A and B are shown apart, each in its own frame.
Chain A
Amino acid sequence: MQTNRRFFLRNGALAVAGTTAIPSFLIRSVLAEASPAPGQRLVIIFQRGAADGLNLVVPYREKNYYAMRPGIAIPENKVIDLDGSFGLHPSLSPFKLLFDQLHLAIIHAAGSPDMSRSHFDAQDFMESGTPGLKSTEDGWLNRALQSEDLHHRQEHTTFRALAMGSQVPRTLAGKIPAIALSSVNSFAVGGRGPAPSPAANAFQAMYGESGDHLFHATGEETFEAVKMLRDANPAQYKPAPGIEYPNNEFGNNMKQIAQLLKSNLGVEAAFTDVGGWDTHQNQGGVDGQLSDRLREFSSAIFAFWQDMGDSSENITLVTMSEFGRTARQNGTGGTDHGHANVMFVLGGHVNGGKVYGRWPGLANEQLNEGRDLAVTTDFRQVLGEAVSKTIGARNLDAVFPNAQLRPDRFLRIL
Chain B
Amino acid sequence: MEPFRATLSLLLCYSLLSPSSVAEAQTAARASSAQPSVRQPYQPGQLRGDERILHALNRFTFGPRPGDLDTVRAMGIDKWFARQLHPETIDNTGLEARLAQFPAMQWSTRDLLYRLPSNAVLRQAAQGKAPIPEAGALHAIYVNEIARYEDRQKQKEQKKQQESKLASGQTMASSDREDGLNSQSAPRPVRNAQTDSNESNIAPSPSTTPDPQPFNEADTARIVALAPPQRVATLATMPQADFDSFQKSLKGPQRAALLVGLNPAQKEVVAALKGPQRVVSEELAAERLTRDIDSNAQLQEVMTDFWLNHFNVYLHKNDETPYYLVSYERDVIRPRALGKFEDLLEATAHSPAMMLYLDNSSSIGPDSPAAEKAKIAAARRPDAKKTAPQGLNENYARELMELHTLGVNGGYTQADVTQVARVLTGWTVDQPQRGGDFKFDESRHEPGAKKVLGKKIKEHGEQEGRELLHMLATRPATARFISKKLAIRFVADDPPQALIDRMAKSYLAHDGDIAEVLQTLFHSPESWSHDTYRAKVKTPIEFIASAIRASGANIDNMQPLVNALRDMGMPVYGAVPPTGYKWDASNWVSTGALVNRMNFALNFAANRLPGVSSAFTAPSQSTFTVEDGSGPRSAAPATATTGNLPTPEAEELRLESELVAGGISVPTRSAVLDQFHQQSLTVQIQLPPRTMQASVNPVQAAKNLEKQDQLLAGLLLGSPEFQRR
Contact = CB atoms under 8 A, between A and B. Distances in A.
Interface string A67-104: 00001000000101000000000110110110000000
B411 interface: no
Interface string B164-193: 000000001111111000011111111100
B164 to A, nearest CB: 14
Q: How large is the interface on B (under 10, 10 to 19, 20 to 34, 35 or more residues)?
A: 35 or more
B426 interface: no
A334 B363 CA distance: 11
B675 A201 contact: yes
B590 A210 contact: no
A281 B393 contact: yes
A309 interface: no
Interface stretch (A28-36, A185-193, A341-349): A185-193
Given A167-B592, A181-B592, A190 B363 contact: no
Given A212-B720, A281-B362, A333 B387 contact: yes
Nearest to A124: B408
A249 B359 contact: no
Nearest to A371: B414
Contact of A330 (B387, B391, B537, B594): B391
A121 B408 CA distance: 8
B590, B678, B720, B723: most-surrounded residue (chain A CB, <10 A): B590
B616 to A, nearest CB: 14
A405 B586 CA distance: 30
A306 interface: no
Contacts of B718: 203
A173 B586 contact: yes
A217 B170 CA distance: 52
A118 interface: yes
A293 B576 CA distance: 15
A141 to B, nearest CB: 15
Given A118-B408, A166-B596, A247-B190, A287 B178 contact: yes
A224 to B, nearest CB: 9
B394 A215 contact: no
B176 A287 contact: yes
A94 B667 contact: no
B569 A165 contact: yes
Given A94-B172, A206-B671, A119 B577 contact: yes
A331 B186 contact: no
B4 interface: no
A206 B668 contact: yes
Given A96-B172, A206-B667, A218 B184 contact: no
A369 interface: yes
Contact of A250 (B187, B390, B414, B671): B187
A149 interface: no
Contacts of A51: none
Nearest to A170: B586
Contact of B175 (A90, A249, A334): A90
A287 B183 CA distance: 12
Interface string A36-49: 00000000000011
Nearest to A206: B671
A167 B587 contact: yes
A387 B599 CA distance: 36
A248 B671 contact: no
A195 B724 CA distance: 29
A213 B706 CA distance: 33
Given A166-B596, A211-B667, A332 B391 contact: yes
Interface in A360-377: 369
B596 to A, nearest CB: 7
Contact of A189 (B186, B371, B387, B599): B599
Contacts of A216: 720
Given A118-B408, A181-B592, A222-B595, A276 B190 contact: no
B675 A166 contact: no
A282 interface: yes
B187 A276 contact: yes
Nearest to A197: B602
A188 B671 CA distance: 19
B588 A167 contact: yes
A282 B178 CA distance: 13
B674 interface: yes
Contacts of B675: 198-199, 201-202, 205
A157 B108 CA distance: 55
B175 A205 contact: no
A80 B173 contact: yes
A295 B173 CA distance: 12
Contacts of A165: 569, 592
Contacts of B394: 280, 330, 336-337
Given A179-B591, A189-B598, A278-B185, A199 B175 contact: no
A215 B596 contact: no
Contacts of A206: 667-668, 671-672, 715, 719-720
Contacts of A203: 598, 671, 715, 718
Interface in B215-267: none
Given A90-B175, A249-B190, A289-B183, A181 B591 contact: yes
A209 B664 CA distance: 12
Contacts of A288: 178
B423 to A, nearest CB: 15
A268 to B, nearest CB: 16
28 contacts: A48-B577, A90-B174, A91-B175, A96-B173, A166-B567, A181-B591, A182-B569, A182-B592, A198-B675, A198-B679, A199-B711, A199-B714, A202-B674, A203-B715, A205-B671, A207-B594, A215-B594, A219-B720, A248-B188, A249-B189, A275-B187, A280-B359, A292-B177, A295-B177, A331-B371, A336-B395, A337-B394, A337-B398
Interface of A: 48-49, 71, 78, 80, 90-91, 93-94, 96-97, 116-121, 163, 165-168, 173, 178-182, 186-190, 198-203, 205-212, 214-216, 218-219, 221-222, 225-226, 247-252, 274-276, 278, 280-282, 284, 286-289, 291-293, 295-296, 330-334, 336-337, 369
Given A166-B590, A199-B715, A248-B188, 6 more contacts: A96-B173, A118-B408, A210-B668, A287-B178, A331-B371, A331-B393
Closest 4 CB pairs of A and B: A331-B391, A202-B675, A166-B569, A209-B667
Interface of B: 172-178, 183-191, 359, 362-364, 366, 371, 386-387, 389-395, 398, 402-403, 408, 414, 417, 537, 567-569, 576-579, 585-596, 598-599, 602, 665, 667-668, 670-672, 674-676, 678-679, 711, 714-715, 718-721, 723-724
